[in-house]
Structure 1
Amino acid sequence: MHKKRLLHLALTSLLAMTAFTASGAVDEDFMRNVEDTFKSADSAIGLKDAKTATSDARELEKLFKEVTDHYAQKGDAAEGVKLSQKSVDLSTKIVTTVAAKDFDSAALASAELGRTCKTCHNVYKQD
């Protein structure tokens, strides 16, 4: 499990270094907020802090819905819509698995969420 945590921390660090190109409400500051909320949720899952993990995951659901709307309105960004919707779904999975006190499944969902974010950032990063 320790190796998974280190890998996950490396992924979140990579996300911090990746620039995100977007306009409107979904800008760099917005994405920094998403990243900070994700890191908090991930840490809370590791600490088995259900209250914080749930609160952060619910916030992530809202934030990723905004990202989904952003890409839907942008047009010609089907991959962005797909990845941000997957992020909403994974955030919801974190809420449900934490509620069931299944922190191992929550950690897996969080790790997948980190990979999904990285994929989106690779597609929509600034050149």
Structure 2
Amino acid sequence: MKKKLAHLALAAVLAGSAFTASGAVDEDFMRNVEDTFKSADSAIGLKDAKTATADARELEKMFKEVVDHYVKKGDAEEGVKLSEKSIALSTKIVTTVAANDFDSAAAASAELGRACKTCHNVYKQD
């Protein structure tokens, strides 16, 4: 139940947030991150290693773009740290799924959702 609430909260935050800086990280990009996250999380729950791994690898790439966004934006140290944490959590999903440790993958996914929510709470636009 906690996991579902965390994911619903993440979806609401992502849907209501937009990045206005120029570049690839914009509202559409973040919707893509959200959709990929939901897909990965669902695949973890279904123990679909192939989909979970592919989605987590895609998340790694997307969060690297988010890191670049915050580095270019400047004065966004928290955004850089949270984005780097998100890369690490996405990588953890890949490694735990590869080890068939779906419980740890689910825990990493939940933590990833919290990292996203924290970042959006700090940087969301009014």
- TM normalised by structure 1 equals 0.93
Query: Which residue in the other structure is 1:84 paired with?
Result: 83
Tell me, in whole angstroms, the C-alpha distance in 2 between the residues paired with 1:50 and 1:15.
27
Partner amino acid, structure 2, of 1:4: K
Contact 1:54-1:94 within 8 A present in 2 as well: yes
Query: Which residue in the other structure is 2:50 paired with?
Result: 51
Q: Identity percentage over the alignment?
A: 75
Q: How does 1:1-127 map to 2 (within 5 A)?
A: 3-23=1-21, 24-127=23-126
Contact 2:43-2:49 within 8 A present in 1 as well: yes
Secondary structure at 1:122's aligned position in 2?
helix
Contact 2:53-2:94 within 8 A present in 1 as well: yes
Q: Which runs of 5+ in 2 are unaligned?
A: none
Give the alignment's Cα RMSD to 1 decimal. Answer: 1.2
Tell me, in whole angstroms, the C-alpha distance in 1 between the residues paired with 2:3 and 2:80.
28
Contact 2:14-2:30 within 8 A present in 1 as well: no
Q: 1:17 to 1:90 in 2, by over 3 A?
A: same
Map Cα deviations across residues 32-72 of structure 1 (whole Å, 9 max, x no partner): 00000000000000000000000000000000000001101
Q: Once the 2 structures are TM-superposed, how far is the Cα of residue 19 of structure 1 from its aligned partner? A: 1.1
Q: Which runs of 5+ in 1 are unaligned?
A: none
Partner amino acid, structure 2, of 1:58: R
